[in-house]
Amino acid sequence: LAKTTQPISMDSYEGQEVNITCSHNNIATNDYITWYQQFPSQGPRFIIQGYKTKVTNEVASLFIPADRKSSTLSLPRVSLSDTAVYYCLVYGTGRRALTFGSGTRLQVQP
């Protein structure tokens, strides 16, 4: 079971880059790393997914070092609308291993 550890909360200001790091020391060879975003009173939604090195899409970048024991979600130039909870998931073998943890609560200030 690939357990993940993230900071409980982070604060930022509009226009800044935000980096949220997730630790997953016992990630398995076949596991992928996926990040979700959740706004209040809504279900989570997919942001980005990766296996190694760097992945970028229109919303974020995901950096994964060679040992894959951690990953960093990077949100460029955040706005107030990026205030949300961000979850790091590592897909284990079998659905029993799918756990969202407590996530990182990002608060963006004007």
Partner 1 sequence: NAGVTQTPKFQVLKTGQSMTLQCAQDMNHNSMYWYRQDPGMGLRLIYYSASEGTTDKGEVPNGYNVSRLNKREFSLRLESAAPSQTSVYFCASSESGGNTDTQYFGPGTRLTVL
Footprint on this chain of partner 1 (rule: CB under 8 A): 30-32, 34, 36, 41-46, 49, 87, 91, 95-96, 98-103
Amino acid (1-letter code) at residue 87: Y
Shortest gap between Cβ of 97 and partner 1 (angstroms)? 9
What sign for the dihedral angle of Cα 26, 67, 63, 10? positive
Compute the least distance from the CB of residue 43 to partner 1, in Å. 3
Q: How far is the CB of 37 from partner 1 (least distance, A)?
A: 11
CB 82 within 8 Å of CB 108:
yes
By C-beta, is 94 or 110 nearer to partner 1? 94
Tell me whether residue 66 or residue 96 sits nearer to partner 1 (CB atom).
96
Cβ at position 93, least distance to partner 1 in Å: 8
In angstroms, the CA 110 to CA 97 distance is 38
CA distance linking residue 79 with residue 91, whole number of Å:
29
Integer Cα distance of 57 and 24 in angstroms = 22
Between 16 and 102, name the residue whose CB sits nearer to partner 1: 102
